[in-house]
């Protein structure tokens, strides 16, 4: 595969393996260490150790291994396709649909549906169980998700994720009333040291920035639009809970009991903007709120 070229800007003192885990989408720190040890990472044209401290001026070249054969099987699962061409496909994912196979969810996922719909034509960068997947949204979050049909488009979209030009907008209902009309949560996120199944705001975690604005206010609840500047696991859910306003229906970061009428948290990826990796043209897409979200707003309005 073609090497990925990165600039180690604003990384003074950061370890090489940590830098790679943050800069390359879907790459864990352990996987980054293996790439470094195998000689697939060059710093200013030379091999370096995983604990190498970056000065912030280096050029880092990463060569990912060839993708593994795709093991996930095609399944005829209905898809709400919002946009599709020879390079990319954008789907409005329903709440409750898992994005890719994982322990406990071997099939019946978005990946299985995409393999059937696209007749196996998906990028292999994500590996055996995540073909085509450029970014993820949680199982119980609905809305727009983009997948790549070939490695060229996958690498282009992944680069946009890294430099924040792939813009994602969400709407949610949060518990309580936010005092301001808009704001930004700039708080690092990492695994919760007390519960590895959760994420949390942790000093020394990965940079995470969420911009929010109030759309409507109700008694005890607020309808909010969020724009991601970064894309950490559970980012909006963690950030809104961190400022004291967990998302309605979020049983991990908010109230433990499910909310009647909701299949998950009231969080929907309503907008997606990216530069088409082949044409260079901007693509901006939106999708409507799901029925259970609009019913909840109507209920609150009454």
> Can you list the domains of the chain with their CATH numbers?
4-62 (3.10.290.10), 81-163 (3.30.2350.10), 168-269+292-301 (3.30.2350.10)
Q: Cα–Cα distance between 206 and 22 in angstroms, integer? A: 7
Whether 68 has a pLDDT exceeding 60, the answer reads no
Higher pLDDT, 284 or 56: 284
Q: Are 184 and 208 within 8 A, CB to CB?
A: no
Exactly one of 17, 138, 140, 250 is catalytic; which is it? 138
Q: Please indicate whether residue 138 is annotated as part of the active site.
A: yes
The per-residue pLDDT for 279 is: 96
pLDDT tens profile 69-104: 556 788 999 999 999 999 999 999 999 999 988 767
pLDDT tens profile 165-183: 899 999 999 999 999 999 9
pLDDT interval class at 248 (50, 70, 90): very high
278 burial via Cβ count (<10 Å: 0-12, 13-18, 19+):
middle
Tell me the sheet residues that pair with 4: 62
pTM: 0.77
77 burial via Cβ count (<10 Å: 0-12, 13-18, 19+):
middle
The per-residue pLDDT for 169 is: 98
pLDDT tens profile 10-33: 677 889 988 888 777 667 788 888
The per-residue pLDDT for 256 is: 87
Q: Cα–Cα distance between 30 and 18 in angstroms, integer? A: 9
Residue 231 exposure: Cα atoms within 13 Å on the Cβ side: 25
The per-residue pLDDT for 180 is: 96
C-alpha of 181 from chain center: 25
Q: How many helices (H) and strands (E) does the chain have?
A: 6, 15
Q: Which residues of 158-194 are buried (b: 16+ CB within 10 A; e: fewer)?
A: bbbbbeeebebbbbbbbbeebeeeeeebebbbbeeee
pLDDT tens profile 118-140: 987 888 766 655 788 888 899 99
Residue 284 is inside which H or E element, if any?
strand 282-286
* E strand map for 85-126: 88-93
Mean pLDDT, rounded, of the chain: 90
Those residues whose C-beta lies under 8 Å from the C-beta of residue 245, and which sit 6 or more positions away, are: 174, 175, 176, 178, 222
- Region of poorest pLDDT, from 5-9, 112-116, 139-143: 5-9
């Amino acid at each position: 595969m073609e090497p990925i070229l990165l600039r180690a800007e604003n990384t003074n003192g950061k370890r090489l393996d940590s830098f790679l885990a943050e800069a390359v989408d879907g790459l864990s720190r352990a996987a980054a260490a293996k790439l470094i040890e195998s000689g697939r990472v060059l710093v200013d044209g030379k091999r370096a150790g995983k604990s190498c401290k970056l000065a912030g001026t280096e050029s880092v070249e990463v060569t990912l291994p060839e993708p593994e054969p795709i093991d996930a099987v095609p399944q005829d699962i209905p898809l709400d396709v919002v946009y599709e061409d020879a390079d990319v496909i954008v789907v409005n994912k329903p709440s409750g649909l898992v994005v890719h196979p994982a322990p406990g969810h071997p099939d019946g996922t978005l990946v299985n549906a995409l393999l059937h719909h696209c007749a196996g034509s998906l990028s292999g960068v994500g590996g055996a169980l995540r073909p085509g997947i450029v970014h993820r949204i949680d199982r119980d979050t609905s809305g727009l998700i983009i997948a790549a049909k070939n490695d060229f488009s996958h690498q282009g979209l992944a680069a946009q994720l890294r430099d924040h030009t792939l813009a994602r907008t969400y709407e949610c209902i949060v518990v309580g009333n936010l005092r301001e009309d808009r704001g930004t949560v700039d708080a690092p996120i990492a695994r919760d040291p007390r519960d590895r199944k959760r994420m949390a705001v942790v000093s020394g975690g990965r940079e995470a920035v969420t911009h929010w604005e109030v759309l409507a206010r109700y008694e005890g609840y607020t309808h909010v639009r969020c724009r991601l500047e970064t894309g950490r696991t559970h980012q909006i859910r963690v950030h809104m809970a961190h400022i004291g306003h967990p998302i309605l229906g979020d049983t991990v970061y908010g109230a433990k009991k499910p909310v009647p009428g909701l299949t998950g948290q009231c969080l929907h990826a309503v907008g997606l903007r990216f530069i088409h990796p082949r044409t260079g043209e901007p693509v901006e897409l939106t999708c409507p709120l799901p029925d259970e979200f609009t019913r909840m707003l109507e209920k609150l309005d009454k």
